Amino acid sequence: MSSNPQRLTIMKPAQEGATGHAAEGSLVLVGVNHTTAPIEVRERLSIPATRLADAVRTLVHLPGIREGLIVSTCNRVEFVTYQDASHGQANANLMRFLHEYFAIPADDVEPHLYEFREREAIRHLFRVASSLDSMVVGEPQILGQVKESYAVARQVGAVAGTLDPLLQRAFAVAKRVRTETQIGSSSVSIASVAVDLARKIFGSLQGKTVLLVGAGKMSELAARHLIQQGATCILVANRTQEKAALIAGQIADQISMQIANNPHAIACTTEVIPFEQLHQQAGRADIVITSTGSEQHLFSRAHGQRFLERRRNRPMFFIDIAVPRDVDPGMNEVEGCFVYDIDDLQQVAAAHLADRSRESAAAENIVSAEVEKYQQHLQSLESVPAIVTLQQNAESLRQAELARAEKRLATLTPEQKAAVDALTRSLTAKLLHPQIVDLRKKPE
């Protein structure tokens, strides 16, 4: 974070003040992520998909907040706002929103918050969309998550003349990073890191039974890596059984394809577990990977004790990549139960970051260049009113001089008058050109 980020005043053409000039605003991004806040804080700020639209509506109805966007993932919760610069309490209202909407005391969240303004906010947004600020650098899921957040904000009318083009540029920057670097060349994600952790725990996943709880993208990605690592049986459970069956079917297709390409590949079976039987059946699994959107724990310490009894004390590992967490951290106190949450994956993810350092540097250079280009674009927008006024004044003077010379030009033919008109227009444009260029380059 920059302690003194360069101020970049952003104009919002769609809104005008009483004077008729475009009103000024301020771009502010406030949030927490996996580097500034532990999961205990992030899960209290987490917004499930079903409540995201309501949260965005509440945000943009705060006094002084013109536009807003909320990005809520397992590793970050960020509030991107375009605030009325003339409203001194806009940022204070944003902070109050954090405390009141999430019912969190200020002292619990403020030490973990970061705040970026103007240019630095733009840079941060570009880095997030490009997966340079992710726990697993280069993972592709974050771009989809930012796009989903944008879609919700747009649906409720929370993004307009400032955030809309900014988000569109962020998506373009992310695409450029993917195209021009190898940062996303290998299929690394939170799910793949979770499977990698499971492999490190057991040494090998061959002969192991794995239970996937949740039928979202994370489960689908985890299944793909589990098959590659030789898991023998994959159980799938989800509140909606049709989704669980869909994931199980996709896994079965992947297994068939793998065996077709490699006759020596280890066979793997799949099975759907009815969600109402989750606690009765979960003890069959050596490894449980959870990634649901539940707002309360699915597995408690008491569940862990029962699982171990049924397993005759054979160890059981839980890899919880959900935020809020699906597994009660207290289950770690049950002898034979081992719980790893998403923050525990950071050490495994660090190894991937070291491998990608060169590509990350190239991606950062692209982001820096794109931030500069976007700043120049915004400054050119700021200069438009002044340029228009300059051109209008010059045209008025040109017309006035032509009117004064009208009698002297009366003997000219229409073609000659047109030539004089064209000549004066050309001279005016050439005289204005240096001033227009200077206005477009003029710093803050």
Nearest to 216 by CA among 286, 145, 129: 145
Sign of CA dihedral 94, 98, 101, 106: negative
In what helix (H) or strand (E) does residue 432 lie, and over which residues does it extend?
helix 414-441
Nearest to 331 by CA among 320, 344, 321: 320
Q: Which of 74, 233, 268, 337 is catalytic?
A: 74
**3-state SS assignment for residue 341:** strand
Establish whether 74 is a catalytic residue.
Answer: yes
Is there a cis peptide before residue 274, judged by omega within 30 degrees of 0? no
Helix axes 163-180, 118-129, angle to 10 degrees: 50
Non-local CB neighbours of 85 within 8 Å, separated by 6+ positions = 9, 23, 24, 25, 26
Non-local CB neighbours of 232 within 8 Å, separated by 6+ positions = 206, 207, 208, 209, 266, 267, 268, 269
Bridge-based pairing state of the strands 209-213 and 316-320: unpaired
At 303, list the tokens.
């569940």
Q: Phi first, then psi: give them for residue 236, nearest 5 degrees.
A: -130, 130
Non-local CB neighbours of 387 within 8 Å, separated by 6+ positions = 436, 439, 440
At 30, list the tokens.
């406030």
Q: Is residue 57 within 8 Å of 157, Cβ to Cβ? A: no
At 257, list the tokens.
């394809």
| Residues annotated catalytic, as ranges | 74
